[in-house]
Chain A
Amino acid sequence: MTPYPPLREYAAIGDGRTVALVALDGSIEWLCLPDLDSPSVFAAILDAERGGHFTLRPRQPHEARRRYLPDTNVLETTFTTSAGAVTVTDAMTLPGRTLGPARELVRRLEGLSGHVPMTWRVEPRFGYGAAPVRLESQRPYPVATSGSDALAICAWDAGSVRCDATGMGADFEIREGGRATIAMITAHQEPLVFPGRAQAEARAAATVEFWRRWAADLAYTGPWRDAVVRSALALKLLVFAPSGAIAAAPTTSLPETIGGERNWDYRYSWIRDASFTLEALLQLGKRGEATAFFWWFMHATRLTLPRLRVLYRLDGGANAPERTLALEGYRGSRPVRIGNGAAGQLQLDAYGELLDAAFVYAAADHPLGRDTAHDLASIADFVCRHWREPDAGIWEVRADPRHHTQSKAMCWVALDRAVRMARLGRLPGRHIDRWSTEAANIRRFIDDHCWSEAKQSYVWYAGSEELDASLLLMAIMRYDPPESPRLRSTIDAVRRELAAGPLLYRYTGDDGIAGGEGAFVCCAFWLAEALAIVGRRDEAAALFEDLLRLANDLGLYAEEIAPETHAFLGNFPQGLVHLALISAAMAMAQQ
């Protein structure tokens, strides 16, 4: 049996700084410390031998089922054996102002019936499994250290802890009504802070309350509320609290095809996601997160203005050099990459996303400030100078740059939003005529070079006859009005050419990288939204319902799903999918 569970068997828990993936069998197989984009301490998901893990399970054959505690990111797994049942509640506790561990993962056990022999074992492997680890007992706590990082286990009623050369663990038995708690605490560049049992359990309880309050404050009252709330909670897991940045996903190199080389590091914030994110946060009533995110990306981009990097580190830095790790990869999918080489690509659509995000933010009565307004105007000027260049496009193709239709359309969006903000007095208006003229030129270019009479559709890139799913964004970004015949026939053509059941491939042509991939889940939600926008709500709702059935048992999605097997592929959970879900639900709610 493969040591790698299917990706849909993972759950995500987090604390606003980092995210852990917990498998259905109770094993934590991905955790980076101290932050989401730091090196991993558990990476068994990428290398079962060398990656490191934290297992906790019955010692007997068992069945497992799980759920998030309602409206939280706290996971409850129930193990049932022939001798009894036990629940394990996993929470990454949220730090308070009082003295506590820098990061803390609390696993609380409660015996439901009978008596269940349990075992737990922690094998920490710092630095993606490459850093030397020292394991020792600082009585009564087993401690693992590596450089400026440390990890310790505080266990109560969870057996007599053994510490050996490779890890630490214990066997114990839990009876009906019995309770046990295991707290994994960590420190980075400081001494460990060991909590008492009552403190660890109180923090875990406070964490449940925090998530419930956060979910209760969501403003969404439309249909499919459970799915929208779960997506919002998944998105909140990706918010890096210290800066307000939002990571695309908490993982790296989960493969887009098993055994393939399309393995990328998503622990960065993509400017492309900015307007989706802001719109979703604002509509969900999360103005605090929206404001933090807006100012984060305005500050991050200031270093490179008017040129934008495709992605930024969560601390706002612009460098993300790509390199490979000596890990086996999920089910042998090599290479395992960290960093992201797409960072330096020219992707013109990002400019439209950023200006649309600013437009959405300003339209919600948020002040922009004089400097920011000047920065946004300089971005619009940049678009005027550069929209004629070929680029890597939204799909970050590593083949030669092309004149991607969606990139051109987003350049039009950039200038359209700049003009509209200038007319409202939110941006300096001295270049408004130039912005309007160039916007018209872009539209003419798309009409002349990016439309296929044969397919009755906009095409992937100028002069081609291929389609791609990003064309749906022309509806979502209101490039064309809903009644536009070109827009309507493009939606039909994209569905006709790229659909696989309810799912959608992003394209079928060559992208310069070997191997295939699954269907991009966000594209299918875009299709649902596009259908809703052009007034085909029933079709949109039916598709949306089909897509909801493809989530895992917890309501989470990976970046891709294999149409034949419905296996998850790619990084998990992916923010853009959950953003697209929220956006589609909102579009239908507004119909």
Chain B
Amino acid sequence: MSVWAVLAGGFVGTLVLTIILAGANYLRLTRMDISFLLGTAWTEDRSRARVVGYALHFVFGLLFSLAYYAAFLALGRSGWALGAAFGLLHALFAGTTLVNLLLPVVHPRMGTSMSAADSAPLLEAPGFMLLNYGRATPTVTILAHLAYGAIVGVFARG
């Protein structure tokens, strides 16, 4: 198992995850826009936010693949099924803790149920499993992360 292979898997997995989310967005299944969500933490400029957001998204995709790598090493095995299982955990973590607890702490423009726009505009809070962005969002998120995890797992196995 090579760390470079896992990073390559992280890159391809993030690419696929991005395509799945964008496709679901186009098909009117969700309003989740990961680049917009991440990028607006850095800038108020809509166009620039999307560029920054995509860059951050890919950086996070690579960092998460390293976490997968560590877990694969700890368990002494890898593969698409184990990767997909990690992907499921990853999706549940992202949909519950990451976007609802951690993201509002670091994102100056992210709304919560306790906030209201005042001096600065606020982004719509994602809600549990990002349900505020559409009822199909949890399903789409889980599918996208299953694909991501499976791809990282395949690359890790070589």
Enumerate chain A interface residues (CB-CB to B < 8 A): 95, 97-101, 134, 138-140, 143, 145, 147-150, 152, 154, 187-196, 198-199
Give chain A residues whose Cβ lies under 8 Å from the Cβ of B133: 191
Give chain A residues whose Cβ lies under 8 Å from the Cβ of B142: none
CA distance A187 to B122 in the complex (A): 13
Contact A138 B125 (CB under 8 A): yes
Residue from A138, A140, A148, A193 within 8 A of B132 (CB atoms): A138
Give chain A residues whose Cβ lies under 8 Å from the Cβ of B111: 194
CA distance A154 to B116 in the complex (A): 10
B1-37 CB contacts (< 8 Å) to partner A: 25-26, 28-33, 36-37
Give chain A residues whose Cβ lies under 8 Å from the Cβ of B123: 191-194
How many pairs of residues, A versus B, come closer than 8 Å at their CB atoms?
88
CA distance A81 to B64 in the complex (A): 63
Contact A193 B122 (CB under 8 A): yes
Chain B nearest Cβ from A210, distance in angstroms: 18
Enumerate chain B interface residues (CB-CB to A < 8 A): 25-26, 28-33, 36-37, 40, 44-47, 49, 109, 111, 113, 116-127, 132-135
Give chain B residues whose Cβ lies under 8 Å from the Cβ of A199: 117, 120-121
Contact B121 A191 (CB under 8 A): no
Contact B31 A194 (CB under 8 A): no
CA distance A154 to B117 in the complex (A): 9
Contact B26 A194 (CB under 8 A): no
Other A-B pairs beyond A95-B46, A190-B33, 13, CB < 8 Å: A99-B44, A99-B46, A138-B113, A143-B132, A145-B31, A147-B134, A148-B28, A148-B134, A150-B124, A189-B31, A191-B32, A193-B121, A193-B123
Give chain A residues whose Cβ lies under 8 Å from the Cβ of B36: 190-191
Give chain A residues whose Cβ lies under 8 Å from the Cβ of B32: 191
Contact B28 A139 (CB under 8 A): no
Contact B121 A187 (CB under 8 A): no
Q: Across the two chains, which residue of chain B brings its CB closest to A101?
A: B121
CA distance A138 to B117 in the complex (A): 13
Chain A nearest Cβ from B51, distance in angstroms: 13
Chain B nearest Cβ from A179, distance in angstroms: 17
Q: Across the two chains, which residue of chain A brings its CB closest to B114?
A: A139
Residue from A97, A99, A189 within 8 A of B121 (CB atoms): A99
Most buried by A among B37, B46, B49, B113: B46
A-B residue pairs in contact (CB < 8 Å), sample of 9:
A97-B46, A98-B45, A99-B44, A148-B28, A187-B124, A189-B33, A193-B121, A194-B123, A199-B121
